[in-house]
A = this chain, B = another copy of it.
Amino acid sequence: MTATAYVHGYDPREADRLHDQAHALAELLHAGTTYASGAHVLEAGCGTGAQTVELARRSPGTWFTSIDRSARSVDAARQRVDAAGLANVAFRQADIMALPFAPQSFDHVFVCFVLEHLPRPADAVAALMQLVRPGGTLTVIEGDHGTACFHPDDPAARAAIACQVALQQRAGGDPFIGRRLHRLLAAAGLHDVRVTPRLVYTDGSRPGFADSFTRRTFTVMIEGVRASAITAGLIDAAAFDAGVRALNRTAEPDGSFCYTFFKATAVMR
């Protein structure tokens, strides 16, 4: 994973977005994920702790080890977990491809919004599998930008999304990884691979959710690549800004917005 300006979690506004997202989406994404009391769980790629807080709160008797390769993100995550009054998380700076843990150190591994950024996600899955005891589980949550669909539809909005897609692909990531999570985990030799899509849908009947998800999560994420996209020559400022306006337009009372996250669970032999 190459550090680029757009990678999630480094920019303060981006960090806010992830916090909003974790709050608005927590139930949707984390439903079904609780770990046994006393279990040891590795959260690989915790970023600024948006999901860490949810994990630790939902499984208060579980011991979490949350790692990220960015020391700054680890610091932010630690502060967030402390502020939430949670004492069941240990943090460590480490790269997901060179983790400082013995084989089978953990009962379970949890990965969220990480594989989409990696040039070789299958290698990361293989590395993480080494750390899980037989019978333990791997849980992976990723997005898929191909699932974004909205009313009013607008070519300008699609062009702005395409910038995020292109930049993520240039950095070696896969913005469409969600739909291939099943294959990725099954091909790695994991068992009982189950993928449940988690569809976010907003319309005028829930203006607060349209605001928190469509405007302050999805559109802010797209806005986050503005400078990179313009610098890379993918789009000009006026076209990009029109795209952002078109995306925000879909959060008006007569608009709608859909996006699907994919959550996979699998068992180590």
Interface residues of A (CB under 8 A from B): 144, 146-147, 149-151, 153, 176, 179-180, 182-183, 186-187, 193-197, 199, 201, 203-205, 253-256, 258, 260
Contacts A146-B153, A147-B147; is A255 near B183 (CB within 8 Å)? yes
* Cα A254 to Cα B196 with chains together (Å): 16
- Nearest chain B CB to A246's CB is how many angstroms away? 14
CB of B186 within 8 A of CB of A204, answer: yes
- Nearest chain B CB to A265's CB is how many angstroms away? 11
Q: A183 contacts which chain B residues (CB < 8 A)?
A: 151, 203-204, 254-256
Q: A151 contacts which chain B residues (CB < 8 A)?
A: 176, 179-180, 183
CB of A203 within 8 A of CB of B199, answer: no
With CB as the reference atom, state the residue of chain B lying closest to A196: B201
Partner of A153, one of B176, B199, B203, B253: B176
Q: A255 contacts which chain B residues (CB < 8 A)?
A: 183
Instruction: Give 6 nearest A-B pairs by CB, closest first.
Output: A182-B203, A151-B179, A151-B180, A183-B254, A197-B201, A146-B149
- Nearest chain B CB to A198's CB is how many angstroms away? 9
* Cα A194 to Cα B204 with chains together (Å): 9
CB of A256 within 8 A of CB of B179, answer: yes
With CB as the reference atom, state the residue of chain B lying closest to A194: B205
With CB as the reference atom, state the residue of chain B lying closest to A145: B149
* Cα A253 to Cα B255 with chains together (Å): 37
Q: A176 contacts which chain B residues (CB < 8 A)?
A: 149, 151, 153
Q: A254 contacts which chain B residues (CB < 8 A)?
A: 183, 186-187
* Cα A203 to Cα B266 with chains together (Å): 14
CB of B179 within 8 A of CB of A258, answer: yes
Contacts A153-B176, A193-B205, A195-B203; is A182 near B256 (CB within 8 Å)? yes
Q: A146 contacts which chain B residues (CB < 8 A)?
A: 149, 153
28 A-B interface contacts by CB (under 8 A)? A144-B149, A146-B153, A147-B149, A147-B258, A149-B176, A149-B260, A151-B179, A151-B180, A153-B179, A179-B258, A180-B256, A182-B204, A182-B205, A182-B256, A183-B203, A183-B204, A183-B255, A186-B204, A186-B254, A194-B205, A195-B203, A195-B205, A195-B256, A197-B201, A197-B258, A199-B260, A258-B260, A260-B260
